[in-house]
Structure 1
Amino acid sequence: MTSSMPPKCQKLRPGGTYAGKQGFSYFEGIARETTGAQGICMHLLRIPPGGRAKAHLHESHETAIYVMEGSAAMYWGEKLEHHMETVAGDLVYIPAGVPHLPVNTGEVEAVAVIARTDPHEQESVRLLPELEDLVPA
C-alpha cells in the first residue's frame, strides 16, 4: 500500500463512470486510484446492443472477464482472425499483449465484470487503429 492509503479492507459500490481508451464507459471499481490496490483492478462494464470497442491490447497485464448478462463476441489475435462468442455465465481470459476487440452482437445490454492485473487499468492500453477495419461493423 502507498503511504497515503494504509492497508484496510474496503467496500465500494459502482457509481461514477469513466471513459476508457477502448471506447467504452466503465463503472468505477477497485483500482489504485479508488482503494490503493497494488496489483489488480476490477470494474463493471455495460455494453449496449451493437456497442463495439476499439481494437486494442493491454501491453503488460492479463484480463479476466465474467459475463453476467447478455452476450457478446470477441475478435482476437494479431489480425483479429479468431472469433469467440460469449453468453451469460462464461468466463474469458485474455493474455497480456493479445490484440482484441469486443462487440455486443445481442439484442440486449451485455454486462460483465472485468478484472486486470494492473491496478491502473488504463495505463498499458494500446489502441490498434490499423486493425479496426478487419472486423465488420
Structure 2
Amino acid sequence: MDSGAREELAGQPIVASAGLLHSLATKETLIASSTMRRPRSSASARSAAGVHHHDVKESLSSSTRSPLTMTDPAPYAVAARTLVPDVGPQGQILATAITTEVCGSRSLGVAYVAMNPLLHTHAHRHSTSDIVVTVIAGTAATVYGEELQHTVVHYTGDSMFIPAGVLHAAINLSDEVVHAVETRTDPHFHDSDVELAPGLDPTVGAIAARLQAEHAAGLLCPQPGAA
C-alpha cells in the first residue's frame, strides 16, 4: 500500500473478511489475527445495560481464577472455560482474558464477547483505545459514524478494526448467540475507555430491527472478499 493510500485510510474503520484472508493465504502470504477481553465489577452496570444476558453468561464461565501480577511479562495461556463474564457499560457480555493485571500485558487487552440472539449494544466509542473485533461464531453487524450511517456485516472469521473515537454499535442479526474476540490497545480493558452516546440508542434500535429483518429474508450479502 502506498503512502497516499495509508493517509486516506488513517483513522477509518477497516474490515477483513475470512474469505479474503483465505485467498491471501493461498498465495503464501502470512496472515496475523487479533483477539480480546476484560473483567467487570458491578451489578449496577448490568442493570444499566438494560439487556438480558443470563443464558449466555452461563455458557461462558464455569469457574473463577486468581489474577496474576507480573513485573516482567511472560507467555500466558488462557482457557475460555475459566473466564468470568460480566456486562460492560455498552451492554455487551465480556469475559476478560488478557490484561496487565492478569498476565502483565503492557500494550493489549483481550476479551471474549457474547451477544444473545437479536440484541444490540448501546451506541458508544472508545475514547483512547483502538480495537479489533473478530467474530468466531454467528452473524453480526457493526454500524459506525457520527450518525451511525455506515454498516458492515460480519460472518464467522471476519475482523474489523475500529480506531479510537469512532462512534459505533454492534448488532446480533440472528437467533443464535454471536461469539467474538475483542482486542484493545488498553492493556487494562477499563470501563472508563467506553463513552456512551445515549441520544443515538433509538437510532441503533431502528437500524437493528431493519437489518435483522433483512437478514431473516436473506437480503444481506457478505462483504467483498468474503467466502
Q: Same fold (TM over 0.5)?
A: yes
By how many angstroms is 1:10 displaced? Answer: 1.6
SS in 2 for 1:92: strand
Bigger mean CA deviation after superposition, 67-76 or 33-42: 33-42
Counterpart mapping for 1:8-19 below 5 A:
8-14=74-80, 15-19=83-87
- Mean alpha-carbon deviation: is it higher for 13-22 or for 84-93? 13-22
> Aligned pair 1:36/2:101, yes or no?
no
Instruction: Tell me which of 71, 81, 87 is aligned to 1:6.
Output: 71
- State the match for 1:131 in structure 2: 200
SS in 1 for 2:117: coil
Which amino acid in 2 is paired with 1:19?
A: V
1:27 to 86, 92, 95: 95
Task: Report matched runs for 1:106-117 at 5 Å.
Answer: 106-117=174-185
Q: Which amino acid aligns with 1:75?
A: V
Structure 2 counterparts to residues 13-92 of structure 1, below 5 A: 13-14=79-80, 15-92=83-160
**Take 2:181 and 2:121, find their aligned partners in 1: how far apart are those partners?**
16
Of the three residues 159, 168, 193, the one matched with 1:100 is: 168
Q: Secondary structure at the match of 2:79?
A: coil
**Letter of the structure 2 residue corresponding to residue 9 of structure 1:** P
In 2: Cα distance, 1:38 partner to 1:127 partner: 26
Identify unmatched segments of 5+ residues in structure 2.
1-68, 210-227
Higher relative contact order (CA 8 A, sep 6+): 1
Q: Residue in 1 aligned with 2:49?
A: none
- Report the Cα distance in structure 1 between the residues aligned to 2:144 and 2:125, rounded to whole angstroms: 9
* 1-structure distance, mates of 2:96, 2:193: 18
What 5-or-longer segments of structure 1 have no aligned partner? none
Relative to total residues, which structure has the larger strand share, 1 or 2?
A: 1
Counterpart code for 1:57: R
| Distance in 1 (alpha carbons) for counterparts of 2:178 and 2:98 | 20
Cα root mean square deviation, aligned: 1.3
Q: TM-score, normalised by structure 2?
A: 0.56
SS of aligned partner of 1:123? helix
Q: Over residues 17-50 of structure 1, what are the superposed CA-to-partner deviations in whole Å (9 max), with x where a residue is unaligned?
A: 1221111121121012212222111111111111
Mapped to 1, the partners of 2:89 and 2:150 lie a distance apart of 22
Q: Which amino acid aligns with 2:71?
A: P
Q: Which amino acid aligns with 1:130?
A: G
Q: For 1:60, what is the secondary structure of its paired residue?
A: coil
Give the deviation of 1:104 after TM superposition: 0.1
2:172 partner letter: N
TM-score normalised by L of structure 1: 0.91
Q: Distance in 2 between matches of 1:55 and 1:26?
A: 16
Q: Per-residue deviation at 1:84?
A: 1.2
